[in-house]
Chain A
Amino acid sequence: MMGMVAAITARDLKLAMRRQADIVSVLFFFIIVASLFPLGIGPEQDLLRKLAPGVLWVGALLATMLSLPKLFADDFRDGTLEQLVLAPQPLGLTVLGKVLAHWLVSGLPLALLAPVLGLQFDLSSDALLVLTVSLLIGTPALSGIGAIGAALTLGLRGGGVLVSLLVLPLYIPVLIFGAGAVDATVAGLGAEAHLSILGALAIGGVFFAPWATAAALRIALE
């Protein structure tokens, strides 16, 4: 069972590494969005420090969302997806493998990049650490929930915009607790409560989302 997950993840990672430009462009999108905010708001350090958790988390949310349509689109176009659906292994596990791979090439780099951007916003080292941890915990949930949206909009016109309409409202709890964890650290309160709930959301999302995604994929391929 786990062999299937590992095989799919390895395959998707290999494909992703052959198109590194896709990964890098998502990261640069994140960097640009985060840099636009100080330009729009003004360079006051106090204000930026206050805005940083929200801005960085929303940036990460949007960057994750941008990479979602690619999750199934290529496999759908060349027919691989149909073979995967026909495979005897449960489709949910296949999706789990793809979600893991998506996280490894989008969520993980975003989380590792975020502290660098946080420095631009003058966050303290504690807050930077919590920002990274919260993104590490929260982004798997984003990949999982996003997979549902990606599967529902597979092969539709205007897929990219549609994904954002479907997925962003569902991302709100993750955003609240992710940015809240950093906020709480900045305010001097502990971040444990936020991080625990974020962890619960991530576990729930990664556990249940693949099955909903599998159902959506079956409908898309009918």
Chain B
Amino acid sequence: MNNRLINWFKYASPQSFYPLAGKMIPWFTALAVIFGIAGLWIGMAVAPTDFQQGEGYRIIFIHVPASWMSMFIYLVMAFWAALGLAYNTRLSGMMASALAPTGALMAFLSLWTGALWGKPMWGTWWVWDARLTSELILLFLYIGFIALQASIDDPRRADKAGAILALVGVVNIPIIYFSVKWWNTLHQGSSVSLTKSPSMAMLMLWGMLLMALSFWMYSIAVSLIRARSIMLERERNTEWVKDVLAGEGK
């Protein structure tokens, strides 16, 4: 018990987490590449052409993992935010701000690929469907978080203010989702139904899962790289950063 506590809190300090993150990044990058190649191979080469949607459906191998990650990253961000507020650890805030751009990127990718898919399938780039709308709002929440942190000069205040915003956002996401959903069913203008997705062939599912794993590993690797940069920037006046920089300069 004692051992475990010490281990966890040891890596809560940027000084000891920095080298650990450095060691983990190559592994996560490698996993992202391996899963990505496997997923793309299954998705693009092995999986059969969909009899209704033709080849165009293959965009789901990017689209679905990106949507999953955009939602999952917000939860992880809120988790780090809560941890940072509760324990007042510096690293938690850094992780939350390192995750936000990746989350925003995923939300944007999901919307963009969705539009590319929607044009040939539904004949329109955009419908005010509940899922599309809530994904758009999720993107707004990410942008708000990034904008708030960007406009606060003091990093400690930026972390805490961002943490409160992330927590308020995470409480609101279900409310927003259900209100958008209800709003959508009341205004049933378009006849497109996203909820009744056709049953998927096993191979397609595998391709999607592999791609999701790849996106997941990519997100971890990129956020760790970003977190490392944030650590160096914020702790630039400390001894350990000077040691690290001196070591890398050699």
Contact = CB atoms under 8 A, between A and B. Distances in A.
B180 A148 contact: no
Nearest to A164: B144
B151 A219 contact: no
Chain B contact residues (Cβ within 8 angstroms of A): what range?
20 to 34
A148 B167 CA distance: 12
Contacts of B241: none
Contacts, number: 71
B41 interface: no
Interface stretch (B8-16, B63-71, B168-176, B188-196): B168-176
A152 B152 CA distance: 10
Contacts of A222: 156-157
Contact of A212 (B137, B164, B175): B164
A208 B172 CA distance: 12
A166 B183 contact: no
A17 interface: no
Interface in A163-219: 165-166, 168-170, 172-173, 176-177, 180, 183-184, 197, 201, 208, 212, 215-216, 219
A148 B175 CA distance: 17
Contacts of A201: 175
**Dominant secondary structure of chain A at its interface with chain B:** helix
A157 interface: yes
Given A166-B148, A180-B186, A219-B157, A152 B164 contact: yes
B176 A172 contact: yes
A169 B147 contact: no
B137 A169 contact: yes
A180 B165 contact: no
Contacts of A162: 147-148, 151
B172 A170 contact: yes
Interface string B140-181: 110110011001100011001100110111011001100110
Contacts of A170: 168-169, 172, 176
A176 B183 contact: yes
Given A152-B164, A180-B183, A216-B164, A173 B144 contact: no
Given A172-B137, A173-B176, A177-B179, A166 B165 contact: yes
Contacts of B137: 169, 172
B112 interface: no
Contacts of B156: 222
Nearest to A173: B179
A156 interface: yes
Those 3 A-B pairs whose CB atoms lie nearest each other, nearest first:
A173-B179, A169-B140, A219-B160
23 contacts: A148-B164, A152-B148, A152-B161, A153-B151, A162-B147, A165-B140, A166-B165, A169-B144, A169-B169, A170-B169, A170-B172, A172-B176, A172-B180, A173-B176, A176-B179, A176-B182, A212-B164, A215-B85, A215-B164, A216-B161, A216-B164, A219-B157, A220-B157
Given A170-B168, A215-B164, 16 more contacts: A148-B164, A152-B165, A153-B148, A165-B148, A166-B165, A169-B137, A170-B172, A170-B176, A172-B180, A176-B182, A177-B179, A180-B183, A201-B175, A216-B161, A219-B157, A220-B157
